Structure 1
């Protein structure tokens, strides 16, 4: 067994290099798109996300949001500008450094999806284009369970993946799980699947799965 196989942080080298060597949109966007394409890709996802989050806050009672796997902080900063109170985590130190350098707003912390703990639960837990980058099923399930534990009653867990009936793997780094797999993992934890909203961007089959805590 190689040292890389023994090191749980070894895959982070890919993401550290990506955030170090590429601009903020390419690092967390679609690697095959040019900058204008990624501008559109981010804008479309953000518009859909803001619709799903809704306008349920007030200055006296902002929504508490966790952006899990925040990358360079694009969505975290946008939600902060909309008046929400945002925690943002990523396992890549390069990503966190870049997010912090972009300015004040969200509270950024380096943490894996399966290890983040919070003294409070969140109204919204968001995880955009991250879970399908966890090809190991055990790691995926641990991350999903932890994110679910952070959602308050009537709150929402919003994760992105393809709406596929069967698992599909691509290029060794991506594994799309079936929608029923998400339901099977989350319904026993008290979260009901309430919506799938596709990105509607070019050929991508990925979209937002919305789970609402009902108990």
Structure 2
């Protein structure tokens, strides 16, 4: 007879799932590609980071740093990189475990525990980035609420940079991955004043995900 007290993966809350995933895997695999070895994930992270930094640009200076938000920051890899480039970085994640890990690493960002739809800021951001997070939100209403909240945090002429496939159809992979069509992102964001200005694929092996850039026009 099955043990009914055993918690299945699909019974976990998102926070519990990510706490367990990050605790069970190293600092790259837990937020990267669990099917890759360490060298593969090193390349995967470096390739994504290089593309992200090129999209953010080099407009920051010590006198006028960009204000950036890393939404769903994991263990802080991208947040620390943005801080090293001179940006003022806030970062949050749903997992208390990874925020503790990121705080121990230090490196400049200000970290907090929050969900995509509940983060608030007293100031707008020049850049809001959300790397490999939104397609891990399978519930469409939760996804839309998180996306709209992130959009509300972007200043006029600022950019929201999110990652997903550039596809025409919704695709699910298992219980925790749902890739939305680009049209779904546009439908949520364009009424809020954000225009889709660019898609740049990762170009890493068979991965179809890439960076969608939305620019606030009003």
Q: If the TM-score is normalised by the length of the shorter chain, which range does it land in?
A: over 0.9
User: 1:64: how far off?
Assistant: 0.2
- Deviation track 1:158-189 (CA, whole Å, cap 9, x = no partner) reads 00000010100001110000001100100000
**CA distance in structure 2 between the aligned counterparts of 1:9 and 1:195, rounded to whole angstroms:** 35
2:62 counterpart of 1:62? no
Q: Name stretches of at least 5 consecutive residues in structure 1 with no aligned partner.
A: none
Q: Name stretches of at least 5 consecutive residues in structure 2 with no aligned partner.
A: 1-6
**CA distance in structure 1 between the aligned counterparts of 2:193 and 2:115, rounded to whole angstroms:** 23
Question: Given the two structures, how large is their TM-score scaled by the length of structure 1?
Answer: 0.95
2:40 counterpart of 1:37? yes
Any idea what SS the aligned residue of 2:197 has? strand
2:193 counterpart of 1:214? no
Greater shift in the superposed pair: 101-110 or 155-164 = 101-110
Any idea what SS the aligned residue of 2:146 has? helix
Question: 5 Å matches for 1:42-121?
Answer: 42-121=45-124
Any idea what SS the aligned residue of 1:26 has? coil
Aligned length: 209
2:177 counterpart of 1:174? yes
Partner of 1:140: 143
**CA distance in structure 2 between the aligned counterparts of 1:106 and 1:9, rounded to whole angstroms:** 29
2:133 counterpart of 1:130? yes
Question: Given the two structures, how large is their TM-score scaled by the length of structure 2?
Answer: 0.94
Partner of 1:197: 200
**CA distance in structure 2 between the aligned counterparts of 1:11 and 1:106, rounded to whole angstroms:** 23
Q: Is the 8 A contact 2:14 2:94 kept in 1?
A: no
Partner of 1:22: 25
User: 1:89: how far off?
Assistant: 0.4
**CA distance in structure 1 between the aligned counterparts of 2:86 and 2:149, rounded to whole angstroms:** 25
**Over 4 Å off, 4+ runs:** none
Partner of 2:3: none
User: 1:9: how far off?
Assistant: 7.6
Partner of 1:183: 186
